[in-house]
């Protein structure tokens, strides 16, 4: 199946449980399916070890957090080593008392930690109270929008809310990412009407395919699936919309999941094609880097002298 | 039709001719159709007064260039004033001997020049030899990615190749653009197979809808249609692919044209909805502006110490 120029990528879209061991068990079965199909890289969704606890703000949920080399790392490390695959996972990271992150971890084939990425953009909306739980990732010489080198390529790992920001995708591309990877947990408010739900789902797909096109890079976006109730019972909970997908470097779909089923997506990425697309569509040649300074501004109110 | 919160926008997708007067005549008829349907803003495609001369490099074609206040300006000015509409047009601008631009001009309802935008990103591909003809627009305090204020709103006018650059769209949004407008001339190489042609067309639509989503802004993208032969007869010419479209602020299609027909697209834009979408999806709240400095880099080779 795999040749020198082809990389077999698997993505796991699953339901999650309050009990980490039960979630891991589910993930383990899907990893076996992926490995049986020749996967060399396996991408999991955001916070795959637990239900999405950010529906309410409760200090009790900080008990779910673990250090980077905690139990979820050990589970994934063992899986990576056993199957000789690279795994992109996601944890609720306890960095220090009172200091927590939403962190993607990347395991090398030998089970070692290839690198980690702390979610830089943190959302906060009704039912998604992430600013209560997660400190945004640091911006340093090695942390922030830095891809992670692995034996299957340089992985531009970002997390969920980051996916709405073209700046994040671009910085990963400028730092040599071979692909963009988005572990995600996004869903519908069941009280929205179908038209609005469809617009939201479409927008989520479009903006990420847009990053694929603008950077001539494959995108792997893996999302949660299934309904999770609101512990406070004040809302109807979240219907995680699945629809995980993978694109080639022109934003073209390689695979796409449905909105309700657990799925193992498999794609065979043609690396030669990725290089070729950059030759045909040479966006990087022409960027007006002399005129981009103001991208670092919050907003440009100059005309009104504010 | 139009209410205080609604703006009626028309876009014209047409064939063009070597003779400017014939092209203007065609445009004039479409403007009448647009006005009859209540258009308050009319968007034309790129270089609508002539055929797309950039298929070959010939100094003779510089004869087609005109100053900003030249004959195409006068034609559009008269149309704007007669119908009391704002018009976005496009010219091959002669700024000085040996200095030419690809320039969008915006006419106010009274026929005056509201502003102009000189294409910042200039492509160069076989059949699209634009770097021979057009100097990239300047980056100054008033020129570059600056929207243009008009009686129908602040227009983020960009041109064609700019549409592949998220940075350009973002800078327009940060400067308060109410919508993004892309006059365009893009088409297929008839020698490409259908699958590749479809990927290219899809990528072109996706990346612009992506800007719409990422900035919560409507996008109006008007493209040329029809086959134009290669004057050198070395290629099969260009099949301009039409497919002009308009989106609302979630990237949702409001209108989309077909790939062969001349068309006047009409959309009724709900301005209140645009504001509401920014409240629901507050991307501007969370941008990591502290971590965006390197967007001004050509490429970030740090890991290899290059």
> Cβ contact (<8 Å) for B250 and A213?
no
Report yes or no on A301 lying in a domain.
Answer: no
| Mean of pLDDT over chain A | 96
Nearest one of B142, B114, B133, B125 to B187, comparing CA atoms: B125
> Cβ contact (<8 Å) for B302 and A175?
yes
Report yes or no on A297 lying in a domain.
Answer: no
> Cβ contact (<8 Å) for A168 and B288?
yes
Rg (chain A; Cα; Å) = 19
Nearest one of A297, A296, A203, A301 to B154, comparing CA atoms: A301
Report yes or no on A300 lying in a domain.
Answer: no
> Cβ contact (<8 Å) for A207 and B202?
no
Q: At what angle do helices A194-215 and A166-174 cross, to 10 degrees?
A: 20
| Pick from B214, B292, B293: CB nearest A164 | B214
> Cβ contact (<8 Å) for B251 and A174?
no
Summarised one tens digit per residue, pLDDT across range B153-205 is 999 999 999 999 999 999 999 999 999 999 999 999 999 999 999 999 999 99
Report yes or no on A293 lying in a domain.
Answer: no
Query: pLDDT at position B3, please?
Result: 58
Average pLDDT of span A255-263: 96
Query: pLDDT at position A302, please?
Result: 65
Which residue in chain A is spatially nearest to B204 when comparing CA positions?
A213
Report yes or no on A171 lying in a domain.
Answer: yes
The pair of structure tokens assigned to B211 is 């800007």
Report yes or no on B293 lying in a domain.
Answer: no
| B19 near A CB under 8 A | no
Active-site residue identified among B160, B228, B239, B274: B160
User: Which of A214, A217, A298 is the best residue to mutate to test the B interface, defined by the most B CB atoms within 10 Å of its own CB?
Assistant: A214
| B117 near A CB under 8 A | no
Residue B212 to chain A, least CA–CA distance (Å): 8
User: Residues 214..253 of B with a Cβ closer than 8 Å to A: which?
Assistant: 214, 250-252
What values do phi and psi take at B154, rounded to 5? Answer: -90, 110
> Cβ contact (<8 Å) for A295 and B250?
no
Report yes or no on A153 lying in a domain.
Answer: yes
Query: pLDDT at position A303, please?
Result: 56
Nearest one of A182, A190, A181 to A240, comparing CA atoms: A190
3-state secondary structure labels for all residues of chain B: CCCCCEEEEEEEECCCCCCHHHHHHHHHHHHHHHHHCCCCEEECCCCCCCCCHHHCCCHHHHHHCECCCCHHHHHHHHHHHHHCCEEEEEEEEEEECCEEEEEEEEECCCCCEEEEEECCCCCCECCECHHHHCCCCCCCCCCCCCCEEECCEEEEECCHHHHHCHHHHHHHHHCCCCEEEEEECCEECCCCCHHHHHHHHHHHHHHHHHHHHHHCCCEEEEECEEEECCCCCCCCCEEEECCCEEECCCCCEEEECCCCCCEEEEEEEEHHHHHHHHHHCCHHHHCCHHHCHHHHCCCCCHHHCC
| Pick from B166, B200, B301: CB nearest A214 | B166
Query: pLDDT at position A216, please?
Result: 98
Active-site residue identified among A16, A54, A160, A274: A160
Q: Is A119 a catalytic residue?
A: yes
In CATH, what number is assigned to the domain containing residue B224? 3.60.110.10
Domain assignment of residue A51, given as a range: 6-284
Q: How many domains are contained in chain A? A: 1
CA distance linking residue A72 with residue A65, whole number of Å: 10
Summarised one tens digit per residue, pLDDT across range B232-257 is 999 999 999 999 999 999 999 999 99
Report yes or no on B296 lying in a domain.
Answer: no
Average pLDDT of span B266-273: 96
| Pick from A169, A175, A206: CB nearest B213 | A206
> Cβ contact (<8 Å) for A213 and B164?
yes
Summarised one tens digit per residue, pLDDT across range B12-69 is 999 999 999 999 999 999 999 999 999 999 999 999 999 999 999 999 999 999 999 9
Residue B289 to chain A, least CA–CA distance (Å): 5
Q: Cβ contacts (< 8 Å) between A176 and chain B: which residues?
A: 299-301, 303
> Cβ contact (<8 Å) for B174 and A294?
yes
Instruction: Answer yes or no: is the ipTM higher than 0.85.
Output: yes
The pair of structure tokens assigned to A258 is 């449905």
- pLDDT beyond 60 at A127: yes
Q: Is B20 a catalytic residue?
A: no
| Pick from B283, B291, B302: CB nearest A164 | B283
- pLDDT beyond 60 at B303: no
Average pLDDT of span A10-37: 98
């Amino acid at each position: 199946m795999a040749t020198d120029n082809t990389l077999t990528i698997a993505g796991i879209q699953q339901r999650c449980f309050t009990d980490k061991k039960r979630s891991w068990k589910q993930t383990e079965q899907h990893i076996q399916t992926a490995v049986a199909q020749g996967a060399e890289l396996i991408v999991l969704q955001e916070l795959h070890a637990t239900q999405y606890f950010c529906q309410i703000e409760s200090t009790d949920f900080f008990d779910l957090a673990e250090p980077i080399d905690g139990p979820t790392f050990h589970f994934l490390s063992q899986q990576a080593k056993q199957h000789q695959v690279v795994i992109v996972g996601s944890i609720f990271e306890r960095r220090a008392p009172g200091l927590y992150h939403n962190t993607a971890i990347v395991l090398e084939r030998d089970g070692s930690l290839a690198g980690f990425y702390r979610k830089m953009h943190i959302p906060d909306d009704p039912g998604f109270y992430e600013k209560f739980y997660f400190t945004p990732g640091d911006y340093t010489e090695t942390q922030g929008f830095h891809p992670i080198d692995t034996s299957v390529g340089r992985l531009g790992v970002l997390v969920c809310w980051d996916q709405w920001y073209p700046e994040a995708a671009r910085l990963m591309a400028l730092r040599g990412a071979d692909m963009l990877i988005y572990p995600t947990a996004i869903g519908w408010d069941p009280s929205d009407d179908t038209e609005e739900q469809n617009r939201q789902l479409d927008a989520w797909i479009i903006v990420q395919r847009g990053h694929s096109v603008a950077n001539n890079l494959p995108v792997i976006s893996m999302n949660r699936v299934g309904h999770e109730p609101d512990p406070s019972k004040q809302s109807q909970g979240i219907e995680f919309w699945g629809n995980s997908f993978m694109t080639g470097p022109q934003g073209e779909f390689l695979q796409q999941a449905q909105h309700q089923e657990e799925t193992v997506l498999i794609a065979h990425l043609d690396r030669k094609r990725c290089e070729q697309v950059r030759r045909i569509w040479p966006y990087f040649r022409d960027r007006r880097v002399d005129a981009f300074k103001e991208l670092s501004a919050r907003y440009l109110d100059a005309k009104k002298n504010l």
